[in-house]
């Protein structure tokens, strides 16, 4: 689909051209000859209304995006790293090392060498 901003001038020009052709007809067969033109004009007007609605919605979304980007741009982000689990693990390692050291001291002296 071609964007609304690109289609709108062409659509308006086409509607004006068709309307000029309809206006140029005269006589008893005018209705028979202009029917297809009038239908195309109606279809183009619907398309034009849809393009306009899409343009309005796009401008609203652009405004929302611009606001969100401004908020993000004004935000200072610094990661927070919790070392609590690492500190807890280090405490356990130190406690185990202390226990192992004390076990090795209390388990007795090394066996004597054979004579």
Of 44, 62, 41, the C-alpha closest to 7 is 44
Span 72-99, mean pLDDT?
A: 87
Which of helix, strand or coil describes residue 75?
A: coil
In the 8-state DSSP scheme, what is residue 27?
S
Span 8-16, mean pLDDT?
A: 79
For residues 62 and 105, the model is more confident at: 62
């Amino acid at each position: 689909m071609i964007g609304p901003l690109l289609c709108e001038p062409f659509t308006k020009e086409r509607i004006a051209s068709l309307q000029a052709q309809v206006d140029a007809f005269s006589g008893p067969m005018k209705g028979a000859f202009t029917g297809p033109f009038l239908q195309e004009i109606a279809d183009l007007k619907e398309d034009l209304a849809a393009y306009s609605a899409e343009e309005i919605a796009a401008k609203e979304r652009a405004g929302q995006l611009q606001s969100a980007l401004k908020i993000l741009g004004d935000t200072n982000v610094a990661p927070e790293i919790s070392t609590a689990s690492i500190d807890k693990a280090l405490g356990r390692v130190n406690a185990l090392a202390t226990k192992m050291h004390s076990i090795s001291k209390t388990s007795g002296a090394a066996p004597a060498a054979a004579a």
